[in-house]
Amino acid sequence: MLMCVQDRDVAKSNRLFGIWCAVIISWCTPFAPAQTSTPAVFVVNNVSDEITPYHVLADGTLEYVGSYTTSDGPMVVALSPDGRYLAVTHGTQNEIDEVLQIFEVGTDASLSMVLSTLVPNAPMAAQWLTNDILAVTETNFGGDNFVHVYEFSSDPYALTLIDSEDTGGFNTYLVLHPAGKYLYAQDSLYNTIHWLSVQQDGTLLLDGSLGTGGVYPLKLAITHGGEYLYAAGGISQGGHNVLGFQISGDGSLTALAGSPFQSPGQSPAYVSCSGDDNYLFVGHGTDATVRSFAIDENGGLTSTGYSFDVGLQGTVGDVKTHGDLLFVTDESTAIDGIKGIYSFQVHPNGSFSVIGDIYDTGGTRPEYIAVWPGWRIADLNDDGVVNIDDIFVALGHWGPCGICNADINRDGEVNIDDIFAILGQWGTV
């Protein structure tokens, strides 16, 4: 017993020595963060072929960064876990391979394109699995649907296909579990959600599938704690359904009691969980409303009665959250003459109020949103400063961590890379 304790103390001492070596090296070597310390949102302008980034300021207002040209018909954007790269998929009317572009994100949230390549038609969803592994769908209604996995290289810039997995009859959305171990892919033709485990080499293994009955799943959202998955049900089965599932430790899904839950809004299409996982926000297609639902201790949903009307049918472009903020795009100027992105303050009771006015992205048909939380996530003990105390928090979670805030780069493990991320954010936040 004494020997075990001594071995453990020696191992801890060696680990601390390694950390302090890293500290010394970092003080001697300039550290360049992957992205801005300020949270940011990136908005896709589908028709005008551009991306508009904004800084998210402390009061929830948005500060325009610029406008960056993409290829024809940008659809979705996906940020790498470290925030350094932004992948953009495209869709045109041509039934041929489509363009996928990767932009490097500057420390001021500006964008510089580093790669433009072709992927199979149609890449309607993309999700980074790690900082150098990117999953992209091949979507074909009623035909072959795959999630293709690519290894991303920055020297030289390239994507190399390493795996392809069958995802049913109409796969248009992907979401990664917060622990990074499981990828979920919906199939709205055969009313199914698949879960695939992420292997060490970045390839995928199809672990299982669950039917959703007569409700087809559209957009997916997972609570930040990783316990529950929700899916918007669109116009299927009466057009008021939101599906809910318990996520087990092996990534499998079980329908929650009471699912599908009923929304007062028509045609749920977009879902996103609040930062504290107390609420689910649902954007609707037919009545163009965004509504909040309380998430109870068992994952069940109850409408709060709070909502916001974006305008004409079909004008909600996307719904995303960041902490106690909610972002919604209005994709059309029809009827009210406005378009752009809203920023909302989410209140403890589930209500949400507009911060300022809508921000015009300067582009046409602003839709998909990607959110970067900013480097403040290194303040692990939430005391307003990144310092040695946060390193000790990380040490307490050292190794494979599952769901863990100390895993700053979200690679499923707390290690020296996360220590470097803490050092890069050193000081008052």
In this predicted structure, the answer to whether residue 57 has a pLDDT above a threshold of 70 is: yes
In this predicted structure, the answer to whether residue 271 has a pLDDT above a threshold of 90 is: yes
In this predicted structure, the answer to whether residue 419 has a pLDDT above a threshold of 70 is: yes
What pLDDT shows up at residue 414? 87
Task: Kindly list the domain boundaries of the chain, sorted by start residue.
Answer: 40-374, 375-429
Backbone angles phi, psi at 202, to 5 degrees: 90, -10
Cβ contact 213:191 at 8 Å = yes
Q: SS3 of 137, please?
A: strand
* 94 or 305, higher pLDDT: 305
Mean pLDDT is lowest, of 232-236, 265-269, 333-337, for: 333-337
Domains 40-374 and 375-429 share a fold: no
What pLDDT shows up at residue 355? 96
CATH for the stretch 40-374: 2.130.10.10
Which residues, including other chains, have CB under 8 Å from residue 416's CB and lie 6 or more apart? 18, 19, 22
Domain 375-429 = CATH 1.10.3720.10: no
Which residues, including other chains, have CB under 8 Å from residue 152's CB and lie 6 or more apart? 85, 102, 132, 133, 134, 158, 159
Local confidence band at 13 (pLDDT 50, 70, 90 cut-offs):
low
Calculate mean pLDDT across residues 23-46: 66
What pLDDT shows up at residue 243? 98
Residue 402 to residue 404: CA distance in whole angstroms:
6
Which residues, including other chains, have CB under 8 Å from residue 251's CB and lie 6 or more apart? 177, 181, 182, 195, 197, 207, 208
What pLDDT shows up at residue 85? 95
Quickly count: other Cβ atoms within 10 Å of residue 377's Cβ.
Answer: 18
What pLDDT shows up at residue 394? 84
pLDDT digits (tens, 9 = 90+) for 331-390: 998 888 889 999 999 999 999 999 999 999 999 999 999 999 876 567 777 666 788 888
Tokens of 116: 């433009």
What pLDDT shows up at residue 375? 61
Quickly count: other Cβ atoms within 10 Å of residue 65's Cβ.
Answer: 21
What pLDDT shows up at residue 35? 55
pLDDT digits (tens, 9 = 90+) for 286-297: 999 999 999 999
pLDDT digits (tens, 9 = 90+) for 98-143: 999 999 999 899 999 999 999 999 999 999 999 999 999 999 998 8
Please report, as a single letter, which amino acid is at residue 357. Answer: D
* 24 or 160, higher pLDDT: 160
What pLDDT shows up at residue 228? 98
pLDDT digits (tens, 9 = 90+) for 140-170: 998 889 999 999 999 999 999 999 999 999 9
What pLDDT shows up at residue 123? 96
What pLDDT shows up at residue 6? 46
In this predicted structure, the answer to whether residue 314 has a pLDDT above a threshold of 60 is: yes
Mean pLDDT is lowest, of 25-39, 43-57, 66-80, 383-397, for: 25-39
What pLDDT shows up at residue 82? 83
Cβ contact 137:123 at 8 Å = yes
DSSP string, 174-217: EEE-TTSSEEEEEETTTTEEEEEEEPTTS-EEEEEEEE-TTPPP
Q: What share of the chain in percent tops pLDDT 90?
A: 71
What pLDDT shows up at residue 378? 74
Gyration radius (Cα) of the chain, Å: 21
Kindly compute the dihedral angle of the four CA atoms of residues 400, 402, 408, 409, in this order, to the nearest 10 degrees.
Answer: 80
Q: Which of 282, 390, 306 is nearest to 354 (CA)?
A: 306
Q: Which of 132, 145, 238 is nearest to 188 (CA)?
A: 145
pLDDT digits (tens, 9 = 90+) for 206-226: 999 999 999 999 999 999 989
